[in-house]
Amino acid sequence: MKKEFDISGMTCAACAARIEKVVGRVEGVQSAVVNLAAERLTVEADSSAFPAVVSAVEKAGFGAVLHKKSTENSDKNAQKVRVMRTKLIMAACFTLPLFYLAMGPMIGLPVPGFLSPEQEPLLYAVAQLCLVIPVMLVGWRFYAVGYSSLFRGSPNMDSLIAVGTTASFGYSLYSLVRIAGGDHHAVHELYFESCGVIITLILLGKTLETISKGKTSQAIRSLMQLVPATTFVIRDGNELEVPTSKLLMTDILLLRPGSRIPADGTVLSGNSTVDESMLTGESLPVDKAEGSEVYAGSINLSGALQVQITRIGEDTALGGMIRMVEEAQGTKAPIARLADVVSGYFVPVVMMIAVLAAAAWRLGGQSWGFALSILVSVLVIACPCALGLATPTAIMVGIGKGAEYGILFKNGEAVEHLHRIRTVVLDKTGTLTTGKPALTDLIPAPGLKRAELLALIASAERPSEHPLGRALVEQAEKENLPLSQPEEFENLVGRGVIARVNGKTILAGNARMMQEKEILFDSFQADLERLAGEGKTPVYIAADGIAAGIAAIADTLKPDSAAAVKKLQKHGIEVVMLTGDARRTAQAIAKEAGIAEIRAEVLPGDKAAVIKELQAQGKKVAMVGDGINDAPALATADVGIAIGSGTDIAMESADVVLMHSALSAVPTAMELSRRTIRNIKQNLFWAFAYNTLGIPVAAGLLYLFGGPLLNPMIAAAAMSLSSVSVLTNALRLKKFKEEK
């Protein structure tokens, strides 16, 4: 039996690992997987084991409650964001004057005489203490979680923050006592501002993280909004408007033109066309008649339908998609943060070195003050300022640079995962192609000019709402052709239109319509075969009962698609096209785009299965799409990339959004990801290098051999230097340029 729990109190990968470990020990548990980004624990266990699972999580210092639907948690997520923003603002309000007061006198900035470190050192120190205490109270959770994790033997990033800031605060407090005792020189050994700045910066990162996590539920909420709140049904021969949530399997739906379908069903009577693009990705509407299947979330376009319900609620095709998106978002592996892994060893080692060094010097005959100075120097130089900045600064610069190119990384995980991608799966409709039918070919009968034929057929189609008809009218308008208003017009659902234009009877429709009217198109057979091979939809045109020509409508390739595919392949990326379209249409587009591997005629629910199949082969997969039907695949992929002109649901399910709808941004995003991750690794190296090299010096190694002693002030300067180097290195990403 499988259950999901919402977990509270997690801050890093070390927390997730600890929960998995303690839950895994519970008797009856087969597997326990924690999704840090979704703050969710998925447990497969005997039904009797779940109470013990909750108990184990709580004993480990975290909270666990049964998972509810994402839409039910939207208010909770919004509340979290409000709380984090409030904390950040409060911390910043006290940290800014604290930083000015501490650093201003050092660089010549004016401060009031009564707060001058030379004239009123005690008041100067007390003012800093009063400013830092509110910041520490705002960030109390870092101390609660950090020390709790440390005492349980599983330190995390919060432990580093807690230990480092406590060391800074503790030594500053000691210096304040010395100032009060008359040692005015101790005014130069105050580090309250380090404590305040660290907490505020970390709160900034946590706020951004909370905002990002809160957006995971929006994809589910948007999908659910595809189902109308109310709908018309026929019950006992009466027409009623009822809430969709109150639908019964015995109801018959009454669907008017323009209405959204609330449930899956079978057409009992009526003819219409239905827009199923949000489910199938197919840009052309589908004809519906008696016996046809219709699906929740799609839109009835032209005619009235009576539909017998076959599936409602979570059992519909749309409900299945909602379930798949939620499951995919809940099973993504948490991002592995190097700093969290290293902190598991780094913190206890640093603390051990600090205590042993202080004890050794005290036993060696040095004073308690000297020993305390050694202890604090080691802890201060190990303070995680650079460690905490290493990843977020590079990520922030990388994300900002991406925005310049119209690439929106929705979180740091997307940046980290994208550089590992070796297979890119591209949706066809709206991603590789424009997603809109357009006239590609117009072949008139002998003796008839192209412009004359286009004006004639466009005039006949003017009253039509069918996308194929609109494509013909738009092309004629684009060419500034004079159009007439038809004297008569009739729409034959599933066949075409009949119109009277300038005294001529014009027929425009499919082969079935022409067969019924006994109009022959034998002379166009070669052209029809060619168009079929190119995956284009033919429109047969007749005037006064005689074949006048044929038009071809197709969803055309975007101008930059072929170049983008070529660039990806140049970098060794495998490109796969995935579509619900017919194989012949897919092959025509793939050939034009330069794609060898095609997955065509794939049902909406199977798109995510194709992604899983590729992942099962050991491939890191990115999915690029724009439709609602792509949402499960976008969520399942290692990285989901949504085209900005696509649906809100696709963009919410994705990790990266291409704001300008240009496919060429995909290789640019991948290269930017590679550069950003390389920058992060460099930052982490320098962050650890400063600390690792500085710790022996802080412990008094050089002093032991007659060299200088690294006092806490120099230790703080070294710590600041590591932060400067990390920031400077991260800013180098601003020089990134798109590959031409």
Cα angle value 421/424/426 (rounded, 5°): 155
For the chain, the 3-state helix, strand and coil shares in percent, each to the nearest 5, are 55, 20, 25
d(CA 133, CA 436): 60
Q: Which residues on neighbouring strands pair with residue 306, listed in sequence order? A: 254, 269
Please say whether the beta carbons of 472 and 551 come within 8 A. Answer: yes
H or E stretch covering 27: none
Cα angle value 499/501/507 (rounded, 5°): 40
Contacts of residue 700, Cβ cutoff 8 Å, sequence gap at least 6 = 357, 361, 374, 709, 710
d(CA 601, CA 506): 34
d(CA 485, CA 722): 75
Please say whether the beta carbons of 303 and 270 come within 8 A. Answer: yes
Which tokens go with 304? 């009235």
Q: Which residues on neighbouring strands pair with residue 423, listed in sequence order? A: 574, 621
Closest-CA residue to 135 (of 80, 82, 200, 204): 200
Q: Which of 340, 427, 626, 630 is catalytic?
A: 427
Residue with tokens 């449930």: 263
Strands 574-578 and 423-427, by their bridges, are parallel
d(CA 134, CA 195): 11
End-to-end CA distance of the chain: 53
d(CA 233, CA 207): 47
Please say whether the beta carbons of 261 and 285 come within 8 A. Answer: no
Closest-CA residue to 30 (of 65, 68, 1): 1
User: Is 251 noted as a catalytic residue in this protein?
Assistant: no
Catalytic residues: 427
